[in-house]
Amino acid sequence: MIKLKQIITEAESEPVFQNVAFGQKTTYNKYPDEIAKLQGKVAGEKDTKKEAEIGKILQGWFGSGMNPESAAKLYKNFELFKDAKNTYPKIFKPVTTNGTVLYRGLSMMPQGLKDFFKKGTTSKKDWTKEKIGRKTYMVCSKPVEYQPENFVQSWTDHKPVALEFGKTAILMTKQTDNFLFNHKFVAIMMGTDEREVLHFGKEYTKPVTIAVEEASYLYYVKMYTK
């Protein structure tokens, strides 16, 4: 039996994405054939006005360094994306399941984390040295207060990818319903497969922990530990 909630979900997403999500070749979508094939469909369906708007936002996100403006526009469609993930799982639903450990590499230490460490909320016993990849990191057993600047953040379940970006630190958390997009669709849009999923919102419902590169630990953390 189809539940009322399922009917409402389909009614909200299907008028936007129709039979094939992002199936039209446009200036903002150069890969409709690959995207349609991923869904088991054939490209050629014309995008709706809302679908075209979202396509342009995604192109702006993946094509311009994941800027704050595109992040804010994506976040405004969060509820629509959540509705669409069951009808169009090959586009909006992560391949990984809730509870999967995800990683986010940081090339620099965000001000919010600097402030967190300056509070002296961690002690030396909370940190252990660990070799991750070719580098040595200091891993904190306590959750950190991570408040991202943008409304959308990129994560991956593939640790080596996070290591490439994590010159300063690597964040870790577990997947929840606030993570969306199939990494195979993201790979088509980006032209490279980093097994990327997107977290929506500036708050996390699962603890976020951190591994800080050894030299960065000495600079950002050690002086503030008890």
Average per-residue pLDDT in the chain? 91
Tens digit of each residue's pLDDT (9 = 90 or more) over 122-142:
999 999 999 988 889 999 999
In Å, how far from its chain's centre is CA 184?
A: 13
Helix axes 49-63, 68-75, angle to 10 degrees: 140
State how far the Cα of 162 lies from the Cα of 154, in Å rounded to an integer.
10
Nearest to 139 by CA among 122, 164, 115, 121: 122
Domain ranges of the chain: 4-92, 101-224
Q: What is the mean pLDDT of residues 178-201?
A: 95
pLDDT confidence of 223, banded at 50, 70, 90? confident
pLDDT confidence of 6, banded at 50, 70, 90? very low
State what percent of residues in the chain have pLDDT above 90. Answer: 79
pLDDT score of 2 more than 50: no
Q: What is the pTM of this model?
A: 0.90
